[in-house]
Structure 1
Amino acid sequence: MKLTGAQAVIECLREQGVDIVFGFPGGAILPVYDALYDAKDITHILTAHEQGATHAADGYARATGKVGVVFATSGPGATNTVTGIATAYMDSVPLVVFTGQVASSLLGKDSFQEVDITGVTAPITKHNYIVKDAERLPDIIRQAFKIARSGRPGPVLIDIPKDIQNAVIDYQPAQVDTSYVNEDIFHPQFYRKEEIERSVQEAVEAINKCERPVIYAGGGVNISGANRELVAFAEKIKAPVTCSLMGLGAFPGTHPYFMGMVGMHGTRVSNYAVSNCDLLIAIGARFSDRVVSKAEKFATHARIIHIDIDPAELGKNIDTHIPICGDVKKILQRLIELVDEKQPNGWNKQIEDWKKAHPLRYGTPKGKLTPQYIIEKLYELTAGKAIITTEVGQNQMWTAQFYKFDEPRTFISSGGLGTMGYGLGAAIGACIGRPDRRVINVAGDGSFKMNSTELATVSRYKLPIIQLVLNNQALGMVRQWQRLFYNGRFSYTTLGSDVDFVKLADAYGIKGFRVTSNEEVEGTLKQALEMQQPVLIECMIHPDEMVYPMVPPGAPIDEIID
């Protein structure tokens, strides 16, 4: 059938099963928006800013496992998506971002709102396209979705000049498999079946012989849906489990084998276990610097098995004795089948002794309202059934430490890029993608200010998101580093009481509360959770509240201050 390029975009979205798009219109993408006007089966969420749209699509993708879709115009509209694209790239989130572009005849002439967005985003996308032949547009879109969701997921950008959107093409519908895709042949060195099987057999031998195993689970477990396999594997070999920030929810936070997060703000038991184990089994994790810290002192007593779908990660940050390149769900299924069942031993008792000796604690409260108490009470009142998004900084770490995530895709946070301003947009996407769950965004005042304009989106669509603002009137995590490592020289990290967040909420028609003491927390949270509408709760905490435990940068992870 004959369609314009813009109409073909909408038809291809239908092929891919897309029913939600996040975006902000502008001149160079008007043909697509005009075609969208007639698409009653696709809901468009108008955000306040293109960065908010990209974070919302990211949160939607993380909460649902589907591909998030973004529309933006050329020039500043496209560049406003860059931080969101980089956030998704670092955390392996599948997005397809459509940007309008000036007409082909105007490219390279410094035309109005012209930016080479494919050049800008080349380092932060799995792939990107500028469409120069309208007839190729449908196939490019199909390729983009396949690339975004297959292998190690990630963002793909499609830049479409305005004349390509208006061109009439002969559109041929296609049947598309939108299921999670992992090709058997992805990288010739590691993906040959005989190579995988040889590595698996070597791993089985190492697991059967070891006496002090530790499982280190990352975000790849959540992405591949291998959560049940991870539990079955850990229980069969009686291995304690620790997670990266992105791995939270991959293993139940209330399971007796769970030790908490590992690394800079990980638990003492996790860091001690990794430092003393004789076999470290890393599953869908990338050994980031916030986990490893001083690489030459990391897991020095252990052989390391590393299972990951991305061959580039194997041996990149830490030398790996047994690399296994493949989908972690499939590899775990094979390992569960082959390994011997172990019995609890002295190692398991040592882990329990460390847990008892070194529980997470609040430290010395500095004020009447304790941030850790807020998070624990939030967990208690939601029974762990909410989806929690966060901003970046102290708020993020307190949430990771004190909220027990039992299910995958319930903790949504910017890990690799550490994007302040991420959480509220992500909460919007998660709320739209998972209306069966209450969504709460935990923020610091500094992060929240960066994209607080998305309260307009929350208000417009009446999204029942609870926004917690932990207001310490400072850039808390940066201030903590200044206190610990820069002799308390608080250079430009004190914000003061320049914003009344309750009044800000009121300006958007959102109910606001202010909490100043621990005694007010439970009642306020209960009231907010009972209200099926947007709510903002400003929590007045002391600027000297700290996130502990903490490993100083560059120190071994078992050298901990608290």
Structure 2
Amino acid sequence: MPENRTGAQIMCEALIREGVDVMFGVPGGAIMPFYFAMWEYREQLRHVLCRHEQGAGHAAEGYARSTGRIGVCIGTSGPGVTNLVTPIADAMMDSTPLLAICGQVSSTVLGRDAFQETDITGITMPITKHNYLVKRAEDLPYVFKEAIHIATTGRPGPVLIDITKDAMQKSVVPNWDFKLNLPGYKPNYHGNRKQIREALRLLAHAKKPLIIAGNGVVMSGASDELRIFAEKLRVPVITTLHGIGSIPESHPLNLGMPGMHGWVHSNKAIQECDVLFNIGGRFDDRVTGKASTFAPHAKVIHVDIDPSEIGKNVKVTVPIVGDARNVLLALLEDMPSQDELSQLHGHASDWMEHIRDLQDKHQGKQQYKNRSATENMTLPPHDVYDALNATMAKNGNYVLVTDVGQHQMWAAQLLDFNAGPRTHITSGGAATMGFSVPAALGVAVAHPEKTVWVVCGDGGFQMTNQEMATIIQEGIKNVKVMVINNGYLGMVRQWQELFENKRYSGTPLSGPNFAKLAEAYYWKGITVERTADVQTAIDEALATDGPVLIDFQVEREVNVFPMVPQNKSIGEMIESEA
């Protein structure tokens, strides 16, 4: 006979049935029944006690982004759940499958401004795929099943379940025998075959074809298919910030990143191409610059699982709604023979040679290539990335997590990601400072066998570094944090220098002795002030059996170039210091 279960027990069993085995959260009054029930399931459900709910949300994001599985975060009512708003918004912008479980005041006082009552479903409606307010224990089995299905299918994203305290406390006999009923939710995974064939025809006959690979390639597991497709058609590939890792950096067809801080040759290739195939990217404004001037000569093919993204920012010639991997498999299935392709693509080498000539012409203007521009600097930031690059090349079992700012763009530009997809984790659409340390916690929980390198600025680091305590409490040893410390909110300062006559308003930034702070958290702390000590510090961090923080005190006023000014075409880049 089925046994009675409390709503809280049902919540635990529902998560286990969906394959969840780890959660990140902070307890409190309204969510306490759930934590009471967790004790019975502690062998199956690992709970990571974070120091702040924002940290719990970002940790769940890091777990999800590095595994492809759903990340789960927990907060109590009132300030607990409002602290989850930022990671929920971040997950929405970056299509991260996230389940936020929230405690709510009892249904008897709901709507009466009870202690710690907040309408979190109302607050998060614009930043979730869907959310629920559950007031009956009987509804919990179905709601959890449906919520996780919605979060992980179609275009992934965050789903929130707000559960009243009395629903968690009530005992019922759970009904697990049901079918999901979502008549209005039917993601299209396969794409229209006629449109797929038209896309292939355009690409096969193009003289200057180009592929943009976005987050959808990584999330659908389509990296191998993308590489094979590009090789067969001999089409160069540009990877967006979230598309990094979808094709190895060392691959001869990989052109690097486009957009505001992308490479000049990548942006010029976009502006010159005649067919542009965007798979899994959403034509974000950081990629397009002034959208009306983007890819002016190209017929645009756009593959996205979310139909609302197609045609939203850039006019599309061939729209294809579908999963990136399935569409690439269909394209490969319909691919002309190699003999036919050879006849069509006599020009392919000329196009690629032209782009590489552009690269040779413009890349040499970059500061990291021009040592004379940095000879008076004690520690140019680029030297840190050179050393990390060398280390990653020798020790390929890693995931790199970056925060938001100048250091993030240098990492995307200068590091060679050859370890495969899901090895570059960052906050893109929301650009959330403070993302990296807690996200690295989630990555480390998911991948204890890998070195988790964290590159962050001194600004973002000071927003969420309390999760260093969580990393110690959980016995995590594989996180190595590199603070690119320039004493500024660097990206804002750069804009103030270039466009606001060096009016450094609110950007000079003080901070503690980061190495001593690390030691206070029982981490190893290292301070580096000279280029000569950079590689030694990174080697020491890698060799240390435990978490390490390196404070790289870099030159204070170094800018990220190239750069597209606001409201300008990506063809109008500032390439270097005047």
**What interval of TM-score do these two structures reach, taking the shorter chain for normalisation?**
over 0.9
1:546 has 2:559 as partner? yes
Secondary structure of 1:424 counterpart: helix
Partners of 1:405 and 1:345 in 2: CA distance: 25
Q: Using a 3 Å threshold, how does the CA distance of structure 1 residues 440 and 175 change in structure 2: closer, same or farther? A: farther
Residues 51, 470 of structure 2: 8 Å contact kept: yes
AA partner of residue 137 (structure 2): A
1:92 aligns with 2:105: no
Give a deviation string over 1:241-272, Cα, whole Å, max 9, x none: 11111111111111111111000000111101
* Structure 1 residue ranges without an equivalent (≥5): 178-182
2:316 maps to which of 298, 301, 320 = 320
5 Å-filtered alignment, 1:107-506, equals 107-173=110-176, 186=186, 191=188, 196-340=192-336, 341-342=341-342, 343=345, 344-359=348-363, 361-362=367-368, 364-365=373-374, 367-383=377-393, 384-406=396-418, 407-464=420-477, 465-496=479-510, 498-506=511-519
1:192 deviates by 10
Match of 1:45? 48
Work out whether 1:522 is the aligned partner of 2:535. yes
Deviations 1:412-471 (A, max 9, x none): 100000000000010000001011210011110011000111111122123221011111
The aligned length equals 553
1:495 CA drift (Å): 1.1
Choose the corresponding residue for 1:82, options 57, 82, 85: 85
Q: Measure, in 2, the Cα distance between the counterparts of 1:175 and 1:272.
A: 54
TM-score, normalising length: structure 2: 0.93
Alignment CA distance shift 1:175-1:445 (3 Å): farther
Partner Cα separation in structure 2 for residue 307 and residue 287 of structure 1: 11
Corresponding letter in the other structure for 1:292: T
Letter of the aligned partner of 2:526 in structure 1? F
Partner of 2:7: 5
Q: Which moved more, 1:372-381 or 1:435-444?
A: 372-381
Q: Residues 176 and 536 (structure 1 numbering): CA distance in 2 closer, same or farther, change over 3 Å?
A: farther
Distance 1:493 1:174 in 2: 57
Q: Work out the CA distance in 1 between the residues paired with 2:472 and 2:377.
A: 32
What displacement does 1:337 show?
A: 2.0
SS at match of 1:556: coil
Q: In the TM superposition, what whole-angstrom CA distance separates every residue of 1:19-71 from its partner, at most 9, and x where no partner exists?
A: 11100000100000000011122111001100000000000000111100111
The 2-side partners of 1:394 and 1:176 are apart by: 48
How far is the alpha carbon of 1:295 from its aligned partner? 1.0
- Quote the Cα distance in structure 1 between the aligned partners of 2:257 and 2:189: 34
| Distance in 2, Cα, partners of 1:126 & 1:158 | 12
SS of residue in 2 equivalent to 1:215: strand
The 1-side partners of 2:179 and 2:546 are apart by 37
2:569 corresponds to: 556
CA contact (8 A) 1:217 1:244 kept: yes
Residue identity in the other structure for 2:405: G
Shift of 1:491: 0.4
CA distance in 2, matches of 1:227, 1:44: 32
| Amino acid paired to 2:378 | K
Mapped partners of 2:185, 2:196: distance in 1: 17
Q: Find the aligned partners of 2:62 and 2:189 in 1 and give their Cα distance.
A: 34
Cα deviation, 1:305-348, whole Å, max 9, x if unaligned, reads 00000000000010101000001101001112223335433101
Farther off after superposition, 541-550 or 46-55? 541-550
Match of 1:57 in 2: 60
Specify the alignment match of 1:180 in structure 2.
none
Q: Distance in 2 between matches of 1:473 and 1:204?
A: 50
- When structure 1 is superposed on structure 2, of 244-253 and 55-64 the one drifting more is 244-253
Identity of aligned residues (%): 45
| 8 Å CA contact retained: 1:15, 1:174 | no
5+ residue gaps, structure 2, are none
Distance 1:386 1:354, change over 3 A: same
CA contact (8 A) 1:305 1:324 kept: yes
One-letter amino acid of the counterpart of residue 15, structure 2: L
Q: SS where residue 518 of structure 2 aligns?
A: helix
CA RMSD between the two structures: 1.8
* Greater alpha carbon shift after TM alignment, 81-90 vs 456-465: 456-465
Note the alpha carbon deviations across 1:69-100, whole angstroms, 9 max, x for none: 11110000000000010001100000111000
Alignment of 1:25 with 2:27, yes or no, is yes
SS of the residue aligned with 1:38?
helix
1:184–1:527 CA distance, 2 compared to 1 (3 A): farther
TM-score (norm 1): 0.96
The 3-state SS of whatever aligns with 1:282 is strand
Distance 1:532 1:175 in 2: 48
What is the alpha-carbon distance in structure 1 between the residues aligned to residue 77 and residue 569 of structure 2? Answer: 46
Q: Deviations over 1:327-378 (max 9, x none)?
A: 1101001112223335433101112212222335426226211212212211
Query: Helix, strand or coil for the counterpart of 1:345?
Result: helix
- Answer whether contact 1:207 1:339 (CA < 8 A) is retained: no
Counterpart Cα distance in 1 of 2:91 and 2:387: 30
Contact 1:100 1:162 in 2 (8 A): yes
